[in-house]
Structure 1
């Protein structure tokens, strides 16, 4: 019986809870990039917004940072009103250390203190400070597992991280996703309770409010708000996007990537409409830091086997770069609904489109197929190829149709071997 005709015997390799925790990939570069986006936004805020605006006199609050109760430990409160410039310099230097990725285990908590200082001291916040404080706190917990000198110049060595510390870091990322789910769902639900939103007049009031950004003024001068269907689209699009973000934020890796795309669209539009650049950049940075898609070529997922589990000792994990047709890939169909499968010696290894590990036996015929996520039936076919060394890499490309054959080759020492 060939691998293409072998019965599918699904193997449960882990519980769903373990899979959720494992999805929090603390090796992801997105964590460092998201944290840097937050830090860059804060640095721009410190350098571009004058102290007169940041510490403006509001009601009974005189000019200067807010220094009541628990906020007195902030740097601005420690140095006093006469040394606010010195505090700005120290904060800017600390943010630069965060941005360049210097010793993330320690600068993570430095970033937390800086964020705390900014969040509690500014008298005219724009809403992003509170969210930043929460997520920078979560990222500080995640950074406990990061013992690198620079988070951009080396990969995180998982073998050197104590299991409890790794679990805490992963849990912090999961908590961040759940929190974002509630934040965006809450934002959408609140809008549903606003009369102007339900009557679709929110856009009209915004275009006639000079406190909003140039984009709303452009809509007003162009007469867009006079068209009912355009006003409806502009009014309800943010609500729909927020709901979609909320749902996808706690989904699979592809769902989280999709949610991040929606976050960029939503907050890009919000920046054009309101001009609140710092709030929107902080939200983008917070979301990016917790989507943590899995790294390529780091995971083996056994879909089925017709052999004894002990026989798997004779298999080796090789890199499998399997992709759908480039044109079809633009629409994300296969990434959303299917998975590539590598069959060899009675073992079927399921991977992700783009690059993953596959279990193969040296010298045994290999075929590449695919399946829909909710079914066990293998589809497609390919010519048989052979792997001669565990350093070899399988490269496969699917044709334009689901029933098209995979074009497969084995790349060894830079030279393809079509098998």
Structure 2
């Protein structure tokens, strides 16, 4: 037991130092929120309500308003309120979130809006669920963000309690997104087409999710080469694993993971579309890659090391000048 205590104390000290310099109130966090909100906004703006709530064989009518789904905005008001007013309510909420106005005020409405889309539409593509989870996990970070716009620099340091909550939420977001990528990649190895390197050949020719114009001719031509098909298929698995690992690592590696994420999902947009899904994943990676905000060095009125210069560092010349004035 005595041998364990120093290790525990060391870990506690490291977490305390890490939490003390943690601050998600940056343009990185704001950009990620905006991208995710725009992803959900695109679904509601460019898809008619009827197409989102189309009946599915073997399933109940949508929106399903039983149990916890009754909290969805698309169930608001029951039969007395039509779908269009509900849709526009969600559009307004997501538009305000995307603008970056008052993160503290919009954190919970953002989570409600993404929850409403995820549990109420008939044919979600997976991005809705990821967006919902991320919006829920971002609530503590959003409540800790007292800026008027999430594009601004903070005017003062956050309170220690808010920094701690935000730090825990930040860790949870990184673990969640890393798990999604690692689980997705590892699970694909159990599918024959992914394991033998031919999956991309069939995906590009799929009637529903296959490559779209104007890139169809080019990618279909490329996919006739076996080496290219294998490289595309296994390359996607390697990138997914790399993204998952990088998002759990240091700030530098998280940024590398974000770049790979943009490349991966940008490629999916070019070939298969899936805009909302890709944007949710890109926005999530941007949030997970957020570096700590660099605080300006604190000014000092003088101590054992001497006064602080305009650049924020102690210097012997400054101390000598002050002492010379004091003796006059």
The two structures have a TM-score, normalised by structure 1, of 0.66
Gaps of 5+ in 2: 1-9, 323-328
Q: CA deviation at 1:298?
A: 3.8
Verify: 1:201 aligned to 2:198, yes or no: yes
Structure 1 residue 79 displacement after superposition: 3.1
Mapping for residues 96-107 of structure 1, pairs under 5 Å: 96-107=95-106
Equivalent position of 2:23 in the other structure: 25
CA RMSD between the two structures? 2.7
Distance change >3 Å, CA 164–CA 295, structure 1 → 2: closer
Greater Rg over alpha carbons, structure: 1
Matches within 5 A, 1:154-193: 154-158=153-157, 161-193=158-190
The verdict on how the C-alpha distance between 1:249 and 1:154 changes in structure 2, with shifts beyond 3 A counting, is closer
Q: Is the 8 A contact 1:141 1:169 kept in 2?
A: yes
How does 1:59-98 map onto structure 2 within 5 Å? 59-61=57-59, 63-80=61-78, 83-98=82-97
**CA–CA separation in structure 1 for the residues paired with 2:18 and 2:181:** 21
Identify the match of residue 316 of structure 1 among 308, 311, 314: 308
> Is 1:48 the equivalent of 2:46?
yes
Structure 2 residue matching 1:174: 3-state secondary structure: helix
Please report how far the alpha carbon of residue 20 of structure 1 lies from its aligned counterpart in structure 2 after TM superposition. 4.4
Equivalence for 2:141: 142
How much has 1:19 moved relative to structure 2? Answer: 4.8
Change (3 A) 1:23 1:195: farther
Rate the CA distance shift 1:63–1:90 in 2: closer, same or farther, 3 A: same
Q: 1:24 to 1:290 in 2, by over 3 A?
A: farther
* The 10-residue stretch of structure 1 (123-132 or 141-150) with the greater mean CA deviation from structure 2: 141-150
- Residue 57 of structure 1 aligns with which residue? 55
1:264-288 Cα offsets, whole Å, 9 max, x none, are 0011112223211100100111121
Does 1:363 find its partner at 2:314? no
CA–CA separation in structure 1 for the residues paired with 2:244 and 2:21: 17
Q: Which residue of 2 aligns with 1:256?
A: 254
After superposition, what is the alpha-carbon deviation per residue over 1:372-406, rounded to whole angstroms, capped at 9, x for unaligned?
xxxxxxxxxxxxxxxx99xxxxxxxxxxxxxxxxx
Compute the displacement of 1:64 (Å).
3.2
Is 1:210 aligned with 2:207?
yes
The gaps in structure 1 that reach 5 residues or longer are 1-11, 301-309, 320-356, 365-387, 390-419
How far the C-alpha of 1:91 sits from its partner, in A, is 1.1
CA separation in 2, counterparts of 1:285 and 1:113? 18
Structure 1 counterpart SS, 2:82:
helix
1:318-358 CA distance string (max 9 Å, x none): 65xxxxxxxxxxxxxxxxxxxxxxxxxxxxxxxxxxxxx7x
Deviation at 1:237, TM superposition (A): 1.0
Superposed displacement of residue 72, structure 1:
0.8
Structure 1 position 131, deviation (Å): 0.8
CA distance in 2, matches of 1:315, 1:90: 55
Q: 1:268 aligns with which of 260, 266, 269?
A: 266
Matched-pair contact (CA < 8 Å) for 2:200–2:233: yes
1:168, 1:312 → 2: CA distance?
35
- Seen in structure 2, the aligned counterparts of structure 1 residues 24 and 251 have a Cα distance that, compared at 3 Å, is farther
State the secondary structure of the residue aligned to 1:102. Answer: coil
Aligned-pair CA distance for 1:35 = 0.7
Tell whether the 8 Å contact from 1:33 to 1:288 is kept in structure 2 after alignment.
yes
Preserved CA contact (<8 Å) 2:102 2:149: yes
SS at match of 1:363: helix
Is residue 25–residue 150 contact of structure 2 (8 Å, CA) maintained in 1? no
Deviations 1:175-213 (A, max 9, x none): 111222211111110111111011112122123212123
